[in-house]
């Protein structure tokens, strides 16, 4: 217990080491631990504190380390690392449902209002929607469907954020080979609780979600014509 507690103390007390290991500043790390305690109703175990459990969780997801490597680093059994990883993961998922939501916006956001490049063209815009591929794990029998554009096993994730750079909606689960427009059409289903804008609110969205872009190149003058259909 002395080794792993010493690691936590040294890391969390040093700004640079804390950020390098946990990808967050030390005050954010401590606040994150306290928030998870409240949201997930967590308490210290006999051999593992919440701070240590969160540290193991963050090191695994931030550096893509195997549980066996972390077990050796923190001097815990593989079962203990796996157990606490699942506990913290459930608490993080529970926290996500409370912080990822649409915020009420009754006026034009300052980022739009104070920039002549955007105002008044985007005065009703309340956020942006885009997709990304996130590394995933899938059974060998299903990996073919999850192989994305870069041959990696991925999920095609659609996300929405506002102009405060806060996520307001995340939709995951689609295979890496799924087309972006197919994901977008599926997310509009009523059961997915897509946060539709109120009144005249609009979103900035990549054209590939709703339209197919075909680029024709004219060899004579090398001009490019983009056709949307």
What are the sequence ranges of the domains in the chain? 7-99, 110-228
**Cβ–Cβ < 8 Å for 18, 11:** yes
Question: Tell me, what's the pLDDT at 223?
Answer: 35
Give the predicted TM-score (pTM) of the model. 0.70
The region of weakest confidence among 11-15, 22-26, 90-94, 147-151 is 11-15
pLDDT band, residue 208 (cuts 50/70/90): low
């Amino acid at each position: 217990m002395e080794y792993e507690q010493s690691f936590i103390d040294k890391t969390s007390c040093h700004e640079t080491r804390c950020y390098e290991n946990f990808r967050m500043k030390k005050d954010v790390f401590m606040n994150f631990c306290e928030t998870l305690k409240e949201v997930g109703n967590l308490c210290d175990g006999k051999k593992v504190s919440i701070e240590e459990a969160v540290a193991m969780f963050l090191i695994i997801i931030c550096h893509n380390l195997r549980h066996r490597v972390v077990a050796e680093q923190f001097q815990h059994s593989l079962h203990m690392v796996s157990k606490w990883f699942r506990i913290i993961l459930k608490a993080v998922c529970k926290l996500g449902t409370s912080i990822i939501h649409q915020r009420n916006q009754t006026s034009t956001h300052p980022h739009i209002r104070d920039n002549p490049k955007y105002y008044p063209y985007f005065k009703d815009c309340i956020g942006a929607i885009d997709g990304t591929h996130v590394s995933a794990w899938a059974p060998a029998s299903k990996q073919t469907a999850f192989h994305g554009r870069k041959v990696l096993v991925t999920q095609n994730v659609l996300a929405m954020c506002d102009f405060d750079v806060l996520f307001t909606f995340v939709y995951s689960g689609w295979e890496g080979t799924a087309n972006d427009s197919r994901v977008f059409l599926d997310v509009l289903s009523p059961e997915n609780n897509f946060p539709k804008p109120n009144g005249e609110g609009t979103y900035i969205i990549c054209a590939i979600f709703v339209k197919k872009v075909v680029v024709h190149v004219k060899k004579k003058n090398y001009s490019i014509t983009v056709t949307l259909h």
